Chains A and B, each alone.
Chain A
Amino acid sequence: MGVYIVRRALWMLFVLFVISVMTFLLMRLVPGGPFNTERGIPEAVKANLIARYNLDASLPEQYVDYMAGLVVPRFTDATYKRSLIEDYAINISLPILGEGVALRWMNFGPSLTNRSQSVTSMITDKLPVSIQLGAAALLVGVIIGVPLGIVSALNQNKFWDYFSMSIAVTGVSVPSIISGPLLQYIFGVRLGLLPVAGWGELNHLILPAFALGFIESALVARLTRASLLQVLGEDYIRTARAKGLSERVVIGFHALRNSLIPVITILGPLAAALLTGTFVVETIFGIPGLGRSFVNSIGNRDYTLIMGTVLLYALFLVIANLLVDITYALLDPRIRYT
């Protein structure tokens, strides 16, 4: 198990490296740059900006510079001052080693278009918003999806099965781009129960979470049904019934536990997909999250912000997949990694 985790972690680092190179090349090959504004900047100013942000260096040099700032941790003493160029996401102060000494890690660099903020501060401001939204949507997906799938599997080929699965297929057909405006209209405008848009209070979270989580709940429901049906046909369920265990114990203890393994395995990728899929919902509901600023950063050619966001999301995705594989091994006694 330990060897397996180490090997996977190393592969993960390689994947992240490839993704960073691909992203870096893709965005540098796009014509235009962060300082090509509609009105145009005087040549001298532009030259100064390019020199200040080190954009005149060769591409490999820029890549290494950026990645070094992001990946290599640094020890700083009391002379360190937080600035746009040097702003670390992780700061651990170590008073044992001396006055003002700190271990700092992950400098996402300055934002090229929003010149009063560093990318680190933009991410630390906006990522929590997107995470809250994604977590709420995941909760919606599980709370609706799992019971729907269980009801469906326990009544296989009966009315409630067809009913639940019709709801699920309908749900898969409603991406947030559809459910967003519809929910806004029904609950926000027509019934006036919830705010149409905005952010800050708990009731602002409800509509976007449903808009985002609905389609996932359908996926969860189908998966729960399929896996519970499969488990119910296994020998050990027959054994449990033969032992004279009550149906409640058989289903609640023996069947559900194992049937939820596939469900848990997709929760990781699902959470990552929800997090990266918040663009639409954030735009429709006017939520100040990272998804929205990523879309804007692409148009603005804000290289550092694009790079930071892509790497952050890719990191979530690979970690989610790794965690899934580990949970798999922990939950199913038959699975052993070597």
Chain B
Amino acid sequence: MASTLNNIATLNTELSAVKSESLFRSSIKRLFRNYFAVLGMVIIGVFILTAIFADSIAPYPYDRQTLRDSDSAPSWMPSVFPMMIPRGEVGGYVKINDNYLLGADALGRDIFSRIVHGTRISLMVAFIGPTVAIIIGLSLGLVSGFMGGWIDNLIMRATDIMYAFPTLLLIILLMSFFRPSTGQLDPDSLAYALNRLDASMGGMFFIFVGIGITSWMQLARLTRGQVLSVRELEYIQAAESLGASRWTIMTRHVLPNILGPIIVAETLTIPRYISYEAFLSFIGLGVNPPTPSWGAMISEGAPAIRTYPHHAIFPALALFLIMFAFNFLGDGLRDALDPRMRGKE
């Protein structure tokens, strides 16, 4: 107890010492002083540009097949992967073809172009996945924390149950539920309309829904905890005594004050969403072919890892790079926004 008081006292002196700087400004400064976080931001920036200009960067359409060139590799590749012996040498089997930067896959599609287009899928999941989770988790957490009583109890018990559901199994079940084979649905039904929407998005829509349904629990708990801790503070009481409605208090006073930790928590989970999409595409429940997803490319390439390692390894590296970037950014954000770190270093 004494130490807590001491800590608070030192924290207060520290805070008054740095009061001249706003919390936001100092956080940004701290973030930019973290080289790994900056590196992460740069990598994400490059990926975003790649996704926007994918059509001009990719030398070929992602779905163009040139069967004659299937499995071919550029001439530098055998020196990187020595087991890939080019044709013409003893035991050689690899077609050398310098038209493709990273070679071609089993159907003769340019691997580089497919990786470039795959950036779109991963980034879309990286941004929309957390949005869906925030919409569901934040609203449930707000209601739960604010209403209390049996509503709170009900929502939190539902959260407990969802927690006990093995996430990957639930996603797989949901995806197979969402994706019945076409032609079995009544054209007037909602399910049919949703399926059309999903098909027009290359299979992305149901991925977002599936990921959202299975990932809101942590956020709901976090939001509820934050609401409970903020609700008793003086400024909320002040707003209440001024006659502000519940809705105003919730949206104008509580929400802005609890957003920080929630954004940090969601940034830290972005890599998980990216890997969920890769995983779903890997087992064939993700995007519809021929839409290129890195997960699907890895799953197609993995069985040929002995003979044509470039099929799986380059998409795997791209996936690693984007997850790495988001992880470092999330880590940096967390450190930067932690008020206890202020004024140090």
Q: Write the residues of chain A forming the contact surface with B, with a CB cutoff of 8 angstroms.
A: 11, 15-16, 18-19, 22-23, 26-27, 29-32, 166, 169-170, 172-175, 177-178, 180-182, 184-185, 188-190, 196, 234-235, 272-273, 276-277, 279-280, 283-284, 294-295, 298-299, 306, 309-310, 313-314, 317-318, 321
Known: A27-B173, A177-B316, A189-B83. A15 touches B305 (CB 8 A): no
Check A23–B173 contact: CB distance below 8 A: yes
Docked CA distance A174–B302 (Å): 16
Q: List, in ascending order, chain B residues with CB within 8 A of A182's CB.
A: 313, 316
Complex contact A19–B271 (CB within 8 A) = no
Q: Of A27, A173, A196, which is in contact with the most chain B CB atoms at under 10 Å from its CB?
A: A173
- Known contacts A166-B36, A175-B279; A181/B181 CB under 8 A: no
A306 CB contacts on chain B under 8 angstroms: 173
**Residues of chain A contacted by B161 (CB below 8 angstroms):** 15, 18-19
Which of B71-79, B229-237, B248-256, B320-328 interfaces with chain A?
B320-328
Number of A-B contacts (CB under 8 A): 137
Q: Is residue B282 within 8 Å, beta carbon to beta carbon, of the partner chain? A: yes
From B2, B176, B184, B313, residue with most partner A Cβ within 10 Å: B176
CB contact under 8 A between A15 and B169, given known A173-B320, A175-B279, A298-B176: no
B316, A32: Cβ atoms closer than 8 Å: no
Asked whether A184 lies within 8 Å of B166 as measured between CB atoms, the reply is: no
Q: A174-B320, A185-B305 are in contact. Are A279 and B283 (CB under 8 A)?
A: yes
Residues of B within 8 A of A279 (CB): 168, 279, 283
Q: Give Cα distance in the complex from A109 to B217, angstroms.
A: 33
CB-CB under 8 A for A313 and B166, given A18-B161, A30-B180: yes
In the bound assembly, the distance between CA atoms of A325 and B319 in angstroms comes to 36
Q: Are B166 and A272 in contact (CB under 8 A)?
A: yes
Name 8 A/B residue pairs within 8 A (Cβ), A-sorted: A26-B174, A170-B324, A177-B319, A196-B305, A196-B306, A276-B167, A279-B168, A295-B283
Residues in chain B near residue A180, CB distance under 8 A: 302
**Given that A19-B164, A299-B176 are contacting pairs, would A177 and B279 also be in contact in the complex, using a CB cutoff of 8 Å?**
yes
B240 located at the interface, meaning its Cβ lies under 8 Å from any Cβ of chain A in the complex: no
Q: Is B53 an interface residue (CB 8 A)?
A: no
Q: Is B59 an interface residue (CB 8 A)?
A: no
Determine which of A184, A234, A314 lies in contact with B164 in the assembled complex, contact meaning CB atoms within 8 Å: A314
Beta-carbon contacts under 8 Å, B273-315 to A: 275, 278-279, 282-284, 295, 298-299, 301-302, 305-306, 309, 312-313
With contacts A30-B177, A166-B36, A310-B173 known, is A177 near B278, CB below 8 A?
Answer: yes
B160: nearest residue on chain A (CB-CB)? Answer: A15
Q: Given the known inter-chain contacts A18-B161, A26-B173, A172-B327, please indicate yes or no for A177 contacting B298, CB distance below 8 A.
A: yes
Please state if A178 and B181 are interface contacts (CB–CB under 8 Å): no
Taking CB atoms, residues of chain A closer than 8 Å to B327 are 169, 172-173
Q: Which residues of B contact A (CB under 8 A)?
A: 2-3, 36, 81-83, 160-161, 164-169, 172-174, 176-177, 180-181, 184-185, 271, 275, 278-279, 282-284, 295, 298-299, 301-302, 305-306, 309, 312-313, 316, 319-320, 323-324, 327-328, 331
Determine which residue in A18, A23, A313 has the highest number of CB atoms from chain B within 10 A of its CB, and name it: A18
Measured CB to CB, the nearest residue on chain A to B320 is A178
B216 CB → nearest A CB, Å: 16
Q: Pick the contact of A283 from B180, B283, B301, B324 — CB < 8 Å?
A: B283
Interface contact A284-B328, CB-CB below 8 Å? no
**Nearest residue, chain B, Cβ from A292:** B283
For the complex, what is the distance from the CA of A276 to the CA of B214, rounded to whole Å? 15
Name which residue of chain A comes closest to B312, CB basis: A181
B278 touches A175 (CB 8 A): yes
| Chain A positions within 8 Å of B323 at CB level | 172-175, 178
Q: What chain A residues lie within 8 Å of B36 (beta carbons)?
A: 166, 169
Q: Which residue on chain A has the smallest CB distance to residue B185?
A: A31
Task: State A47–B328 Cα separation when bound (angstroms).
Answer: 58
Q: A280-B283, A284-B302, A310-B166 are in contact. Are A178 and B316 (CB under 8 A)?
A: yes
Shortest distance from the beta carbon of A257 to any chain B beta carbon, whole Å: 20
Contact across chains for A189 and B306 when beta carbons are under 8 A apart: yes
- Contact partners of B305 in chain A: CB under 8 A: 181, 184-185, 188-189, 196
- Closest Cβ of chain B to A299, distance in Å, is 7
Q: Is the CB of A280 within 8 A of B166?
A: no
Is B166 a contact of A181 with CB atoms below 8 Å?
Answer: no
* Contact, CB under 8 Å: B169 / A276: yes
Which residue of chain B lies nearest to A284 when distances are taken between CB atoms in the complex?
B302
Residues from chain B with a CB closer than 8 A to the CB of A16 are: 164
Among all A-B residue pairs, the 10 with the closest Cβ atoms = A173-B323, A31-B180, A173-B324, A181-B312, A175-B275, A313-B166, A276-B166, A178-B316, A31-B184, A15-B164
Q: Are A181 and B301 in contact (CB under 8 A)?
A: yes
State the CA gap A338–B172 with chains docked (Å).
38
Known: A178-B319, A189-B83. 5 other contacts (CB 8 A): A173-B271, A177-B295, A276-B169, A279-B279, A317-B165
| A295 x B180 contact (CB < 8 A) | no
Assembly CA distance A22 to B174 (angstroms): 11
Q: Which of the residues B173, B282, B295, B309 comes within 8 Å of A185, measured between beta carbons?
A: B309
Contact assessment for B313 and A181 in the assembled complex, using a CB-CB cutoff below 8 Å: yes
For B319, the chain A residues whose CB sits under 8 A away are 177-178
Inter-subunit contact B169/A32 (CB<8 Å)? no
Q: Which residues of B have CB within 8 Å of A169?
A: 36, 324, 327-328, 331
